[in-house]
Amino acid sequence: MTFTVEQEPRPKGAWEYRYRIYKDGRLVADYWHDHRGDEHGIEFVGGPKESWPVGRMTEFLEGGGPQPLSLSSAAVAYLSRKCP
């Protein structure tokens, strides 16, 4: 099983960053964080919403900027439990 993440386009003036999370190419969740990374949460397709799924936002996402965006190993472990 492979999880991938992609960032959604951010509307000008928006204070949230939003991401789509896929499992084997199928959308399983939408993830978000505020502009500072202080607050973050996840909403599963057809399922619950949760705040602070794995520690801080920086413990969920890796990369960004010049580096490719990816999920941390903690995020993958969390998603594997939530999306068997």
Q: What is the pLDDT of residues 2-24, one digit of tens each?
A: 999 999 887 887 788 999 999 99
Q: Which two tokens stand for residue 26?
A: 């199928």
pTM of the predicted structure, to 2 decimals: 0.87
Long-range contacts of 66-75 (CB under 8 A, 24+ apart): 69/5, 69/6, 69/7, 69/19, 70/5, 71/3, 71/4, 71/5, 71/21, 75/3
pLDDT digits (tens, 9 = 90+) for 55-79: 788 888 998 788 888 999 999 999 9
Strand runs (DSSP E) across the chain, as ranges? 3-7, 16-23, 26-34, 40-44, 49-51, 61-64, 67-71
